[in-house]
Structure 1
């Protein structure tokens, strides 16, 4: 829920148009649940946990690699303005100027802003990577960064958490509401604030190994909120509950 004119109009007309055609809304998380509630969907009419990554494949990285992985930041996403790639690169330049032993930044993706990555010291552009190869990319880095300007959810956040990566996310990332606790398994920064992001990157870099390992473990644990098994269970139990309500 953002309070936009479109959403406000929808909340008014929903009883006449949506409710007659749609019985249940299955949403990804709390921010989407807020919108669903304003549209008149609550209780048995609103299910959570719509998105779930291939959890076992990414959890295997955590079990297999642990802390024995290269010290590097990882970004995975489209190279487009809405994803905040320019913000990340500005923050990364500031970060490199502030720390004595900066980590490299690995970028995975493609898009119109790919040219921004050229010639930036410490940045490695891997280009587009097939989904089945993404776990191995996460095994080659120690922290995940998602600097989006707008991100209703972000499945990649759960993938990185399952792989045991401390997270650095902008405060517009919907998945961060459930998967990132500031200072516990990573850091939350104000969207668009490159200096704040740079500071967060520095805090991860300077963290003692024991603290990094604790954040890694906590990310992995939080990621288990969403698995294919729980997705299937939500569907089965949700249908049963809805049928019971209709009787």
Structure 2
């Protein structure tokens, strides 16, 4: 097998995508039907972005806590963390979404009413718990288990000799983690973390099953109203492709910059 050349390979796939995307954007701008569909779907872009950013931020925070708990010195904490991770990873995201929306959320409302009844608070109804936040909580729970494994693998990649050196210098476990383990592990964590963020952009479309007005839900409603399924879902696909490919290219650039900074 011939060795790969030193110079980077020209991204023909990107050139082809740019050509297809340019054609589709031209159709959107020049065709009244496409323009109307885009105007309608654009109202759901911010919902998709909000769901993705909030859910991923919460999932990353919870996933980091789970990863640290998985390496705890106490067996009970380790077992609880593993139980959560394995159970959540074994349930399809759409099933988890429906479970949180129609089982967990009403249970939380009932618990809140029971806990605050003695304090004189007015009871709340399940309908007061918005479907948007039910979806955010479900995605947070689902992705926290996957991100916990990403964090665990990244933190475990740090050489034990550096941890022992930090302890020999008198650093506490917290300072060792914050100053030695996490900064080095983050370089390993970043690529899969970025991939999961892109994946959440796509999986956020699952919130449409709850009627949340994201891009996919507005696409379904628009197509059901105008019966132009081909045109409508072309625009839906174009919006998601634009978001995910832009994110992927930005993450690749960031990884390259970090790699160059490490090699210097």
Same fold (TM over 0.5): no
Q: Which of these two proteins has the greater Rg computed from alpha carbons?
A: 2
TM-score tier (shorter): under 0.3
The structure richer in strand per residue is: 1
Q: 1 or 2 for the larger relative contact order (CA 8 Å, sep ≥6)?
A: 2
Q: Could you state the TM-score of these two structures normalised by the residue count of structure 1?
A: 0.24
